[in-house]
Amino acid sequence: MASTITTNSIHSPSNASRLSSLYLSRNRISPNNVLFKTPSQSLLATKAKRFAFSPFPENRKSLVAKTLSFPGWTQQIRLTSSVVVKAAADAEGHAEPAKSFGERFPALVTGFFFFTWYFLNVIFNILNKKVYNYFPYPYFVSVVHLLVGVVYCLVSWGVGLPKRAPIDKELLALLTPVAFCHALGHVMSNVSFAAVAVSFTHTIKALEPFFSAAASQFVLGHQIPLSLWLSLAPVVIGVSVASLTELSFNWTGFISAMISNIAFTYRSIYSKKAMTGMDSTNVYAYISIIALLVCIPPAVLIEGPQLMQHGFRDAIAKVGLVKFLSDLFWIGMFYHLYNQVSQIYDN
């Protein structure tokens, strides 16, 4: 049994239980004007017209629509259950999580951390050398660097950014060698900064990759390929030439920088052995606290008497109390920040 609607371009062949196809003339109605709903609902065309297929009874439970075909058009709309299942899964929250900014742009994140570290390091070195020009006490200044960082960490813990991670005897035993090497390398770097030009100290510290490779092979037992040793040869030769031609060269600055290289190399070795599940911010906070306790005794013994006699008085006379304290604070802050950024990036 078929029925024809008075509109000339619409024909609907049908039976009482099944609607197989709906033929619409493309000259009259476009696909965007047709909305197919569930069997319990009606077929709607444009807002101006509503087509009701009266030959069917109101109760059409057996009505099934598989395909809407439009003669003369290339597309077919197929209603499949897979689309419904996928939509339901998305609605229930089972869709794949969106990637973070770091996962989408890893090179950009790496560049940001590198630039931030480099910028903070440069500012620290400039301010640090200015302080040594009127206050040549590297042991005490090293203590100030760590003290400012420790205060920063304590304040951060106090406000819960980050939340302080608990530490036990086992973790303390793992971090103590790392902190000791960190303290030794830091103090020796400052002794070198105070004795020679900053550029010369950093030239000597460029040998640190060579010391790391040597320690990896002869201490940890890792086989270093010949190609890596050959790639480090220009660095060793360049540092040697720079040392011979350096106008500010002295043995105190040179030996201190070399000791710093060795200390930081062993710090890296012990850091690998002390890998924990603790976040980098908390780890560096504990390292700073232990390193501060290590640095205080030699500073008091070596420079304490001189500082009490004339060290503080001479510095205040040259630049004033406010600038003296301000310079010490800012070099400590920049020192802590550039090391903190380095720890975050390494993790």
> What per-residue confidence (pLDDT) applies to 141?
97
Contact of 142 with 296, CB cutoff 8 Å:
no
Q: Which of 135, 119, 152 shows the shortest CA–CA distance to 332?
A: 152
The span from the CA of 222 to the CA of 15, in Å, is: 82
Q: How crowded is the C-beta side of 40, counted as CA atoms within 13 Å? A: 0
Q: Coil, strand or helix: which one is 25?
A: coil
Q: Where are the beta strands (DSSP E) in 88-217?
A: none
The span from the CA of 158 to the CA of 161, in Å, is: 8
The span from the CA of 68 to the CA of 1, in Å, is: 20
Neighbours of 152 (CB within 10 A): 17
Q: Coil, strand or helix: which one is 45?
A: coil
C-alpha angle 130-140-307 in degrees, rounded to nearest 5: 95
* Tokens of residue 218, six digits: 């002869």
> What per-residue confidence (pLDDT) applies to 93?
53
The span from the CA of 196 to the CA of 290, in Å, is: 28
Q: Where are the beta strands (DSSP E) in 65-187?
A: 67-68, 77-78
> What per-residue confidence (pLDDT) applies to 313?
95
> What per-residue confidence (pLDDT) applies to 320?
95
The span from the CA of 285 to the CA of 152, in Å, is: 9
Indicate the pTM of the whole model. 0.67
* Tokens of residue 93, six digits: 């929250």
Domain residue limits, the chain = 115-346
Over the chain (347 residues), the average pLDDT of each successive run of 10 is 42 43 45 46 42 46 45 45 49 62 78 88 93 96 97 94 88 92 95 89 85 84 86 86 79 92 88 76 92 96 94 95 96 93 69
> What per-residue confidence (pLDDT) applies to 10?
42
> What per-residue confidence (pLDDT) applies to 217?
84
Q: Which of 24, 55, 54, 19 shows the shortest CA–CA distance to 38?
A: 19
The span from the CA of 24 to the CA of 42, in Å, is: 16
Q: Which of 191, 179, 188 shows the shortest CA–CA distance to 339?
A: 179
| Residue 174: φ, ψ to 5° | -75, -35
Contact of 44 with 37, CB cutoff 8 Å:
yes
> What per-residue confidence (pLDDT) applies to 75?
47
In whole angstroms, what separates CA 2 from the centre of its chain? 69
Q: Which residues contact 242 (CB under 8 A, 6 or more apart)?
A: 200, 203
C-alpha angle 127-133-134 in degrees, rounded to nearest 5: 105
Beta strand 67-68 pairing with 23-24: unpaired
